[in-house]
């Protein structure tokens, strides 16, 4: 079983649509959770951290369910500029705040006019 | 405040040559991570370093690959005797010194070095 699994995608949606990405992780020792976005042939960029209580940043809402080991990202009113690959990322608990990130393969989103 | 810098951005090597990839972390960051992304694959952790120390190299291939982060200068990922399977994008990330806060674990990525082995 992969450590971080995501919807395979691709997701093709019209502008203004709401789109949801799901992700599951296998290691219960995972401590920190993130969504990154990666544009074609570019580096990953942090979209948002994911907190246990859930958190929102403008059109983006992230949820975490530790019991189910499940993470989600909701994008409302999608824009053309949201087209990218969305990466679900976790970090294990090695003590402290440092440690390597474990990436899902990503879900490609294409927003069409 | 400059971000994470990597050079070269593109590197072409023939089989058997050596590749040296450099990474300068963000100002004030003391933790450096190297990741590799093979074509059509997700990023995979390779090695985690602090100044003059390798903290975790569990993702590094046992042979031909080495990394360092000297007291002065950038972090270096070195690949000896490259093979075609080493062709990939190599990303470096840095994060701030540990202060005990959860917010210090955000990693910021450089633009990557795309290695092509002919």
Q: How many CB atoms lie within 10 A of CB A26?
A: 13
Compute the distance between CA of residue B55 and CA of residue B31 in angstroms, rounded to an integer: 10
Q: Which residue has the tokens 């003590």?
A: A95
Taking CB atoms and an 8 Å cutoff, what residues of chain A touch B55? 98
Q: Å from B43 to nearest chain A CA?
A: 6
Q: Which of A4, A41, A101 sits opposite B107 (nearest CB)?
A: A101
- Decide if pLDDT at A98 tops 70: no
Instruction: Give the DSSP per-residue string, B18-51.
Output: -EEEEEEPPTT--EEEEEEE-TTS-EEEEEEEET
Tell me if B88 sits within 8 A of B38, measured CB to CB. Answer: yes
Residue (of A43, A44, A42, A24) closest to A33 by Cα position: A24
Look at residue B78 in the predicted model and tell me its pLDDT. Answer: 98
Q: How confident is the model at residue A95 (pLDDT cuts 50, 70, 90)?
A: low
* Cβ partners under 8 Å of residue A58, min gap 6: none
Compute the distance between CA of residue A83 and CA of residue B20 in angstroms, rounded to an integer: 33
- Decide if pLDDT at B18 tops 60: yes
Counting residues of chain B whose pLDDT is more than 70, the rounded percentage is 92
Q: Which of B33, B93, B98 sits opposite A97 (nearest CB)?
A: B98
Tell me if B113 sits within 8 A of B82, measured CB to CB. Answer: no
Q: A37-57 pLDDT, tens per residue?
A: 999 989 999 999 998 888 999
**CB-CB under 8 Å, B93 with A97:** no
Q: Å from B45 to nearest chain A CA?
A: 6
- Decide if pLDDT at A99 tops 90: no
Compute the distance between CA of residue B65 and CA of residue A97 in angstroms, rounded to an integer: 26
Look at residue A53 in the predicted model and tell me its pLDDT. Answer: 85
Q: Which stretches of chain B sit within 8 Å of chain A by CB?
A: 31, 33, 35, 41-45, 48, 55-56, 59, 89, 91, 93, 95, 98-112, 114
Look at residue B105 in the predicted model and tell me its pLDDT. Answer: 67
Compute the distance between CA of residue B8 and CA of residue B114 in angstroms, rounded to an integer: 8
Mean pLDDT of B52-60: 91
Look at residue A108 in the predicted model and tell me its pLDDT. Answer: 94
Mean pLDDT of B5-19: 97
**CB-CB under 8 Å, B45 with A46:** no
Q: Å from B14 to nearest chain A CA?
A: 22
């Amino acid at each position: 079983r992969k450590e971080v699994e995501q919807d395979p995608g691709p997701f093709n949606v019209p502008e203004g649509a709401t789109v949801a990405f799901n992700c599951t992780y296998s290691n219960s020792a995972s401590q920190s959770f993130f969504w990154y976005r990666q544009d074609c042939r570019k580096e990953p960029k942090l979209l948002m951290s994911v907190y246990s209580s859930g958190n929102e940043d403008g059109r983006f809402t992230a949820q975490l369910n530790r019991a189910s080991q499940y993470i989600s990202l909701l994008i409302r009113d999608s824009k053309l500029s949201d087209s990218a690959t969305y990466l679900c990322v976790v970090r294990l608990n090695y003590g402290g705040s440092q440690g390597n990130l474990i990436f899902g393969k990503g879900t490609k989103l294409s927003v069409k006019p | 405040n400059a971000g994470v810098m990597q050079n070269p951005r593109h590197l072409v090597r023939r089989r058997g040559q050596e590749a040296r990839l450099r990474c300068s972390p963000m100002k004030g960051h003391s933790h450096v991570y190297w990741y590799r992304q093979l074509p059509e694959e997700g990023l995979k952790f390779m090695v985690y370093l602090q100044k003059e120390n390798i903290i975790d190299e569990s993702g590094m291939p046992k042979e031909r690959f080495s990394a360092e982060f000297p007291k002065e200068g950038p972090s270096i990922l070195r690949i000896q005797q490259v093979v075609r399977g080493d062709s990939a994008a190599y990303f470096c990330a840095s994060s701030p010194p540990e202060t005990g806060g959860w917010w210090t674990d955000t990693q910021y990525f450089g633009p990557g070095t795309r290695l092509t082995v002919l």
